[in-house]
Amino acid sequence: TRRIEGHTLASYQTVPKPVAAAALAALKSLAEAIPGFLHGDIRLQNVLCLADSSDAAPTCMWIDFGNASRSGTKQQQLAEQTALKRLLGT
């Protein structure tokens, strides 16, 4: 275990487009890497932005896997991605 520096997407008044794209990419990566993966708690508080300066592309990671499961369908995974897009305003 190590401490990771960053801030949740809830700290933004408006999430910048590159950060929003990184958050969605991170969720899609989880769905691709773990068959049936569902996070189960799609909220901006559960996405950590590690870098959002103009010098580097933003990197996002998901946190709080207390409601996660590995029994979701592709349709449910897409529903989580749609829910995230709605929260991000994209």
Instruction: State residue 44's pLDDT score.
Output: 98
pLDDT (tens digit per residue) in 48-82 = 999 655 667 899 999 999 999 999 999 999 999 99
- Structure-token pair, residue 40: 């189960």
Sheet holding 59-62, edge to edge: 7-8, 47-51, 59-62
Average pLDDT over residues 43-50: 96
How would residue 4 be classed by pLDDT, with cut points 50, 70 and 90? confident
**For residues 7 and 53, which has the higher predicted lDDT (pLDDT)?**
7
11 contacts: CB under 8 Å, gap ≥ 6: none
Whole-angstrom distance, CA of residue 90 vs CA of residue 88: 5
Instruction: State residue 51's pLDDT score.
Output: 63
Average pLDDT over residues 31-48: 97
**pTM of the prediction?**
0.90
